[in-house]
A and B are shown apart, each in its own frame.
Chain A
Amino acid sequence: MIEALLIAPVVVPLLGAGLLVAVPPRRWLHRVVALAAGATGGVTAAALLPSTLDGQVSTLAVGGWPPGFAIVFAADTFSALMLGVTSLVVIAALAIAAGTGDDTARFYAPLVLVLSAGVWGALLTADIFNLFVFVEVMLAPSYALFTLTGGRDRVSASAVYVTANLLASTILLAGIALLYGVTGTVNLGDLAGAAATGGGALAAGVILLALAVKAAVVPLHGWLPRSYPHAPPAVAVLFSGLLTKVGIYAIIRVYSVLFDGTPRLRWILMAVALLTLVLGVLGAIGERTVRGALSFDMVSQVGYILVGLALFTSSGLAAAIFFLIQYVLVKASLFGSAVAIEVAAGTGRLDRLGGLARREPLLAAAFMLGALSLAGVPPLSGFVAKLGVVTAALAEGDYLAGAVAVVTSLATLLVMLRIWSIAFWGEPPRHRLPRTDGQPSDIRPTGARGPVVGPALALALPSLVLGVGAQPLLAAANAAAAGLLDLSTYIEAVSR
């Protein structure tokens, strides 16, 4: 019976979006429906987690077709965990949009719901072509959300965002075509180990390349720091918590299923991971806006997850999954704080900020929690995650990866302290300069800070909880890693 729930995170938001488009626009109706539909992911995850933690894989073959023809949805521990945290981000982003007034746009809530349906579909599908379809379902509303409001600056940033993602989608589809040509199937269960042959490895490599663009892995990251700082504030929170994370989820899933951890190609993944770590954080040091620094830092943090994946040991994968789960919340929280800074001070430019700690103590607390967790300071969740990655690397004798991970962590702390000391300490700027900086023009320095700071703080608090009481999530991450290392249950459930 619980299997029928698997389709709910896709169907309920889509129905909600349809309802909101059909009925006359009422703001409260939009908020209530969006919130209810945004919670379906979390409810489904809560229902699925107990059975998946025992190592079961819930599957649903849509349409009642015989095995091999049906479209399969499947949930293991990894997908269920991701489903839960992404649902939290959707709810928080809806709350922030209500605070900043982004949700006054007629189609804001329906677009967010379609986007979440795409995210959750991509997390739950066990069919690589459907993965492409759901990624598109996720990206199409994101293009529209990007340019829902705003001026010329945003349109040109959006052009970068759209073209980069369209090209990646085209490459993804080409990779799937090649894979189908080689293997004759798109079911992930039947595809297990498909990259053992030369043709299969090439096709899977094309797919991973496309997914690496989506996840903004160096050297394919250029689009992200050029576009995210210009997105509408509440939309940036949504994107930061969902889009690249689906990319990295798909990389982990595809790599572990198709390549089955083959040691021949691991050095490529490790080299890319280390480059991502270093170049991302170096870019973040030089940025001049809060969101710019956070966007570049987003590139860097993906590297930790890739290090865990490249090791492909049980402890490495568990560390990568733990990292990803807590990082989704921390990053969304930091972007929420960045939005709150922009609302409170009217700008996100570091040279025009100052003295916010005295004026906005709650915001300062939220930012501090998120920033320290991102940098990996105990007792926050980022510390546990980074400790896991570093010890997994050292256990494999990969001292270079361990050292780079530690140094990157220090550099991240530098980036965060720079934002902190400029924006929160010191004196507030004497007089407001006229706005000629080309920043998004729809940021109003209003007094509505509670609804904006609240979600950021609510997303940062789990970091403290997960840091002090890390054991339950660590156990879940271990179970998820075991499911990725030993695929027999997944394969049997998906291709039965």
Chain B
Amino acid sequence: MTAAIAVGVLVAAGVFLILRRSLVRVAFGFILLGHAVNLLLMAAGGLGRREPPILGPDGPTTPADPLPQAFVLTAIVISFGTTVYLLGLARAQRRGDQDEKPGPGP
């Protein structure tokens, strides 16, 4: 339930941000959406089971599912790359705005 609420809040905030005009806010929105999906991936592996798979205190009674963790790791790397690109794009757009300003009209 906690995970579901957290995902819901993150998605709501993320969607609000990506509907903004400024690309920097859009980038932040995608960061939040990425977090929401990562949480969803973790929840898909079962949040109740979180012992280390081999060396738990009572042996592997409730081992965590390692696959979603690998998925999340991959997704984090990808979203890091796209965030950097979005921020670069935001900078290019800003610079473009400034370049356009001085002009005597059509």
Nearest-CB residue, chain B, relative to A146: B89
Bits for A173-208, please: 1 = Cβ < 8 Å to B, else 0.
Answer: 110111011000010000000000000000000000
**B82 adjacent to A180 (CB under 8 Å):** no
Partner of A170, one of B34, B89, B93: B34
In the complex, B41 has a CB within 8 A of chain A: yes
Interface residues of A in 132-180 (CB under 8 A from B): 133, 136, 140, 143-144, 147, 151-152, 155-156, 158-159, 162-163, 166-167, 169-170, 173-174, 176-178, 180
**A133 adjacent to B78 (CB under 8 Å):** yes
Instruction: Please name all residues of chain B whose beta carbon is closer than 8 Å to the beta carbon of A296 when the two chains form the complex.
Output: none
Instruction: Please name all residues of chain A whose beta carbon is closer than 8 Å to the beta carbon of B13 when the two chains form the complex.
Output: none
Interface residues of B in 48-106 (CB under 8 A from A): 67-68, 71, 74-75, 78, 81-82, 85-86, 89, 92-93, 96-97, 99-100, 106
Instruction: Using known A-B contacts A159-B93, A180-B44, determine if residue A170 contacts B71 with beta carbons closer than 8 Å.
Output: no
**B96 adjacent to A155 (CB under 8 Å):** yes
Bits for A229-242, please: 1 = Cβ < 8 Å to B, else 0.
Answer: 00000000000000
Interface residues of A in 376-434 (CB under 8 A from B): none
Nearest-CB residue, chain B, relative to A170: B33
Instruction: Using known A-B contacts A170-B30, A170-B33, A173-B37, determine if residue A147 contacts B82 with beta carbons closer than 8 Å.
Output: no
CB proximity of A139 to chain B, nearest CB, Å = 8
In the complex, A129 has a CB within 8 A of chain B: yes
In the complex, A471 has a CB within 8 A of chain B: no
Partner of A180, one of B18, B33, B34, B45: B45
**A166 adjacent to B82 (CB under 8 Å):** yes
Nearest-CB residue, chain A, relative to B34: A170
**B82 adjacent to A159 (CB under 8 Å):** no
Partner of A163, one of B26, B37, B40: B26
Interface residues on A, range: 20 to 34
Nearest-CB residue, chain A, relative to B39: A177
Assembled-state Cα–Cα distance A156/B21 (Å): 11
Number of CB contacts from chain A to chain B under 8 A: 76
Partner of B40, one of A158, A167, A178: A178
Assembled-state Cα–Cα distance A142/B67 (Å): 29
Assembled-state Cα–Cα distance A147/B86 (Å): 12
Assembled-state Cα–Cα distance A198/B86 (Å): 37
CB proximity of A130 to chain B, nearest CB, Å = 10
CB proximity of B39 to chain A, nearest CB, Å = 9
Main secondary structure of the interface of B (DSSP, over half): helix
**A152 adjacent to B30 (CB under 8 Å):** no
Instruction: Using known A-B contacts A155-B92, A159-B89, determine if residue A166 contacts B30 with beta carbons closer than 8 Å.
Output: yes
**A152 adjacent to B93 (CB under 8 Å):** yes
**A152 adjacent to B96 (CB under 8 Å):** yes
CB proximity of A353 to chain B, nearest CB, Å = 23
**A136 adjacent to B78 (CB under 8 Å):** yes
Instruction: Using known A-B contacts A170-B30, A170-B37, A177-B40, determine if residue A143 contacts B68 with beta carbons closer than 8 Å.
Output: no
CB proximity of B7 to chain A, nearest CB, Å = 9
Instruction: Please name all residues of chain A whose beta carbon is closer than 8 Å to the beta carbon of B86 when the two chains form the complex.
Output: 162, 166
Interface residues of A in 272-329 (CB under 8 A from B): none
**B100 adjacent to A152 (CB under 8 Å):** yes
**A158 adjacent to B68 (CB under 8 Å):** no
CB proximity of A170 to chain B, nearest CB, Å = 5
**A174 adjacent to B99 (CB under 8 Å):** no
**A173 adjacent to B75 (CB under 8 Å):** yes
Instruction: Using known A-B contacts A133-B78, A140-B81, A155-B93, determine if residue A181 contacts B44 with beta carbons closer than 8 Å.
Output: yes
**A177 adjacent to B41 (CB under 8 Å):** yes
**A152 adjacent to B33 (CB under 8 Å):** no
Instruction: Using known A-B contacts A129-B71, A133-B74, A166-B30, determine if residue A174 contacts B85 with beta carbons closer than 8 Å.
Output: no
Bits for A16-29, please: 1 = Cβ < 8 Å to B, else 0.
Answer: 00000000000000
**A152 adjacent to B85 (CB under 8 Å):** no
Instruction: Please name all residues of chain B whose beta carbon is closer than 8 Å to the beta carbon of A167 when the two chains form the complex.
Output: 18, 30, 33
Instruction: Please name all residues of chain B whose beta carbon is closer than 8 Å to the beta carbon of A169 when the two chains form the complex.
Output: 78
Instruction: Using known A-B contacts A159-B23, A436-B106, determine if residue A173 contacts B41 with beta carbons closer than 8 Å.
Output: yes
Most buried by A among B36, B86, B89: B89
Instruction: Using known A-B contacts A133-B74, A140-B81, determine if residue A174 contacts B37 with beta carbons closer than 8 Å.
Output: yes
**A140 adjacent to B85 (CB under 8 Å):** yes
Assembled-state Cα–Cα distance A143/B71 (Å): 23
In the complex, B12 has a CB within 8 A of chain A: no
Assembled-state Cα–Cα distance A166/B31 (Å): 11
Assembled-state Cα–Cα distance A440/B96 (Å): 14
Partner of B37, one of A144, A158, A177: A177
CB proximity of A78 to chain B, nearest CB, Å = 26
CB proximity of B93 to chain A, nearest CB, Å = 5
Q: A173-B37, A177-B40, A180-B45 are in contact. List 5 more A-B contacts (CB 8 A).
A: A167-B30, A167-B33, A170-B30, A177-B37, A178-B40
Between A and B, 17 residue pairs with Cβ closer than 8 Å are A140-B82, A155-B89, A155-B92, A156-B93, A159-B89, A163-B18, A170-B33, A170-B37, A173-B37, A173-B75, A174-B40, A176-B71, A177-B37, A177-B41, A178-B44, A180-B41, A180-B71
